[in-house]
Structure 1
Amino acid sequence: MKTAFQELAKKYALLKRGWTPQQNLFYGFLTYIFLGTVLLCLPIFQKESAPILDHFFIATSAVSTTGLVTISIFDTYNFFGQFIIMILIQLGGIGYLTFTTFMILSTTRKLTSWHKKILSTEFTLPNTIKITDFLRSVILFTLFMELIGAILFFIAFKTEGMPTLEGVWSSVFHSVSSFCTAGFSLFNNSFMDYVDDHFINFIISMLAICGSLGFIVITDFGLWIKNRAHKLSFTTKIIFYGFLMLLTFGTVFFYFLEPSIAVAHEDSRFLSAFFQSMTAMTTVGFNTVDFGLFNQAMMLVCIFLMYVGASPSGTAGGIKITTLTAVFAIIKSRLKGSTTITFLGRRIPYERLYIATSAFIFYTVIIVLGTFLITLTNDFKFEDILFEVASALGTVGVSTGITGSLNVWGKLVVILLMFIGRLGVLTFGLAIWSKTIREEDREVLQADIAV
């Protein structure tokens, strides 16, 4: 029996080495989702039964760190079921193979070329950061922030009168969910009961911002603190300044132009405006006000923030600030008639520009296609469907309230969108359409095209 299992494991390892890095990520996350679904379907992890599709939906939402739910997490799953969901969130948040590779580094201190290829595909790093330094930063910073978050949450919940054991579990669960920007909550109305609680709003914002800014920024700043001679990368500067600008933009718009925040939450108007902007930008998915009450203009602002997201190699979704920056640089250079693409006086490599424009176009196409498919099979307002699609693909998790009412086809589309969002649109495309014959190995005729 043991020999047969070892032989099967050996064959599986050889099979994985024959896949492209993108296919390894595709099947790796798919395996997490499949195992999560099987476990959540077991009655011993449930308080009450639910359809298999809903368990599949929850497992996908957890691994993709989205937070959209079709059933109540607290009412459907017992402690052990909730614990499984938290583990899925953690695995999805830190990335496929990240923890395993960290353990390898801790023992052998050497990575195989196979590990490096997959990690380099999942985490796009600038040349100034080594993959080994990056991995250590990912694990240690994640554990540190989640521990701090759990302690602060426990203090906040105890202050609100929550029982000790319930407070401990809620603190750990929400700390992991916040840092991984998953948006899963043990409260059925998210954090709407804490709209005026400055301390809880601060804890969530701190964890979500630290997670979504990305491990590139954290690693870069860590190296700078250890050695002041280390220069912050251009990527870090773009992410940091871009994040501040977009977060400010969203907060100002929500503060002045959203009536539901101005009227219903007058005493905490700025806090509510900041938090909703932050939750869309970091894709954390928690909300303290009802997004279903937003006017169409503010829904569009929220969709834009979800569309952009935050940082590459972080826990947030979206096209990423760096992609938006690259597209902006292309437009600016073209309008100026320049053949060199620059931003802030720095020339951006053409390889990065190809990746950015491809991601931008593919991401937009998927949003349009997803909206079309749900509109075709479900009868909801168009803006609500577009909002749901942007939230699913951006792995945000906020909703206007239609998630649980989607039919089977609508839920399947959202499941696919969440999976693509976690994997990354380009990684998903390369995993599906990967070819054995490289483009440069094939003889191709050249032709001109008018644009």
Structure 2
Amino acid sequence: MPKTLLQTVRREYLKFHLRLNPQQSLFFGFFMYMILGWIFLSLPFSQKIPTNFIDTLFTSTSALSTTGLATVSTFDNYTFFGQFIILTLIQIGGIGYMTLTTYILLSTTKQITHWHKKILYNEFTMPREFKVQDFLKSVIVFTFTIEIIGAILFYFAFRPIHSDTLFTIWTSIFHSISSFCTAGFSLYNTSFEGYATNTFLNGIVIFLTISGALGFIVVTDIWYYISKRTNEISFTTKMITLTFFSVLFIAFLIQFFGEPSIQNYDFGNRIQVALFTTVNSITTAGFNSVSIGSLRMSVLLSIIFLMYVGAAPSSSAGGMKITTLTAIIAIVKSKIRNEYKVTYFGRKIPADRLEMAVSTFVFYTAILFLSVFLLSFTENQTLDKILFEATSAIGTVGLSMGITGSLSEWGKIILVCIMFIGRVGVITFGLAILAKKQHKFIDNETDLAV
């Protein structure tokens, strides 16, 4: 009887999933993981000290969305099991909830269903010329290879700091996965503020976060080029990397020359402190080596812009995405020059990509504005702190000016909602809630993945 009941439940669950469009499947999948994480973190043996259900839900959502905002201490409030659950949610959120299961299915059956392909194309917005099988393999192999390398490097960095070998191993694994998945969760209550001038440690974090933020499209494209499957790097990869590092460099200069709090460091340490902050903003990793609340307003505005834009599509990073920014810039440039075609670096951007970019820009900005508006009612904080917190949440960044722990329960619920929306994507969220049928342009990715 139990076996028959289990089979019935499984059959009805599959039938329910097949009735959903790809966006609804993504929404429902991430929602179920968020709830499961909430349940597991609420278990008594997951907590060192009693943690209320709102803070536990906040932690689960923040981990799954790879945000890193925390209302309670990860190390002080959760046991090893609880920390393991948090890390599992981070890994699922970082590579996508369908990725690992589909890869296992592909490895065992050598084929995947059309339903799986549709969801994966929507989750990663991969170019049409990419084969799902090759793309999945590159995602899995690249992710675990970089995370293993990161854990080994972290071990050598943490070994002189910690005397406990087991904790050194655990904190190395935890921070490697958290860094690559741009999650920003740390076992240290002040993140990396105590290691602001530790060049080796800072370098590892920067390497891992950039590796995760440049995206799986870039990695797959480079792999195709190295393995001679293509003759040149694609326009999308060139555009992503050039724009990413250009924006990063400008923000670095603002931080390096414009922030008084780092002027007391010597030249080399000023470089790494400024670079660490800007990299963790644009990659939406959310680690910090200086107190964010102490930064001057001009620097905070540059960080807000980096968090708002985010990094590459189909990556572990959040934000509006670099490709959306470049498409909006291309539209403005073409209008100013009175050009009929919308181009970027001499390449015409397809109309469907422009429509997607404008829709993303408008919807993303509208949700951000609405969340700031609502938080201004629920929180007794200044506008700059509220704007920073909301931008960090929807961009799945994790940086904070220090108000996360003091948020009201309504404020925490608002952030839970926008962190979740930030993870599934604003367009995916909109289509999951409002769309009656699948739109063709979502399936047919062309020259530019937005």
**Structure 2 length normalisation: TM-score?**
0.96
SS at match of 2:287: coil
Contact between 2:252 and 2:275, CA under 8 Å: does it hold in 1? yes
Q: Percent identity?
A: 50
Partner of 2:252 in structure 1?
251
In 2, the alpha carbon distance for the partners of 1:405 and 1:157 equals: 31
> Which amino acid in structure 2 is aligned with residue 334 of structure 1?
K
Aligned-residue CA RMSD in angstroms?
1.5
Aligned residues: 440
- The alpha carbon displacement at 1:43 in A equals 0.5
Q: Distance in 2 between matches of 1:264 and 1:415?
A: 37
Check 1:300–1:2 CA distance in 2 against 1; reply closer, same or farther (3 A cut): same
Q: 1:269 is matched by which residue type in structure 2?
A: R
Once the two structures are TM-superposed, the CA of residue 362 in structure 1 deviates from its matched residue by 0.6
**Contact 2:330 2:344 survives alignment (8 Å):** yes
Q: 1:97 — aligned with what?
A: 98
CA gap 1:11/1:342 in 2 versus in 1, 3 angstroms: same
| Structure 2: runs of 5+ lacking an equivalent | 442-450
Contact kept? 2:224, 2:230, Cα under 8 Å: no
Cα distance in 1 for partners of 2:279, 2:219 equals: 19
Please give the alpha-carbon distance, in whole angstroms, between the structure 1 residues aligned to 2:416 and 2:265. 33
Aligned to 1:21: 22
Mark the CA change 1:260 to 1:346 in structure 2 (over 3 Å): closer, same or farther: same
Partner residue in 2 for 1:444: none
- Name the CA shift for 1:244/1:107 in 2 (closer, same or farther; >3 Å): same
Give the 3-state SS of the residue equivalent to 2:127 in structure 1.
Answer: coil
| SS of the residue 1:260 aligns to | helix
What is the alpha-carbon distance in structure 1 between the residues aligned to residue 261 and residue 215 of structure 2? 32
Superposed displacement of residue 436, structure 1: 4.8
- How far does residue 211 in structure 1 lie from its aligned partner after superposition? 0.3
Q: What CA distance in whole angstroms lies between the structure 2 residues aligned with 1:158 and 1:408?
A: 39
Amino acid at match of 1:431: A
- Tell me the equivalent position of 1:165: 166
CA displacement, residues 413-447 of structure 1 (integer Å, 9 cap, x when unaligned): 1101100000000000111112259899xxxxxxx
Query: Is the counterpart of residue 425 in structure 1 residue 426 in structure 2?
Result: yes
Equivalent residues in 2 for 1:172-183, closer than 5 Å: 172-183=173-184
Q: Give the distance between the partners of 1:309 and 1:437, measured in 2 at CA.
A: 27
In structure 2, what is the Cα distance between the partners aligned to 1:437 and 1:161? 53
For residue 159 of structure 1, report the CA deviation from its aligned partner.
2.1
CA-to-partner distance for each residue in 1:368-422, whole Å, 9 max, x for gaps? Answer: 1111100111110110100000000000000000000000111011101100000
Partner of 2:446: none
| Contact preservation (8 Å) 2:21, 2:437 | no
Structure 1 segments (4+ residues) deviating >4 Å: 264-267, 436-440
> 8 Å contact 1:126–1:235 — kept in the other structure?
no
* Partner of residue 127, structure 1: 128
Q: Does 1:210 align with 2:221?
A: no
Is 2:339 the partner of 1:367?
Answer: no
The aligned runs of 1:316-327 (5 Å cut-off) are: 316-327=317-328
Shift of 1:72: 0.4
Return the alpha-carbon distance in structure 1 between the equivalents of residues 228 and 384 of structure 2.
Answer: 49
Is the 8 Å Cα contact of residues 128 and 233 (structure 1) preserved in structure 2? Answer: no
Which gives a bigger RCO, structure 1 or 2 (Cα 8 Å, sep 6+)?
2
Structure-2 change in CA distance of 1:343 and 1:401 (3 Å): same
C-alpha displacement of 1:263: 3.2
What is residue 445 of structure 2 aligned with on the other side?
none
1:182 touches 1:396 (CA, 8 Å); kept in 2? yes
Tell me which amino acid in the other structure corresponds to 1:32.
Y
The residue aligned with 2:347 is 346
SS at match of 1:263: coil
Letter in 1 for 2:96: G
Letter of the aligned partner of 1:271 in structure 2?
Answer: Q
Stretch moving more, 264-273 or 239-248: 264-273
Where 2:303 maps in the other structure, the secondary structure is helix
Return the offset for 1:233.
1.3
1:38-437 mapped onto 2 (5 Å cutoff): 38-227=39-228, 229-263=230-264, 268-436=269-437
Q: Which amino acid is the alignment partner of residue 182 of structure 2? A: T
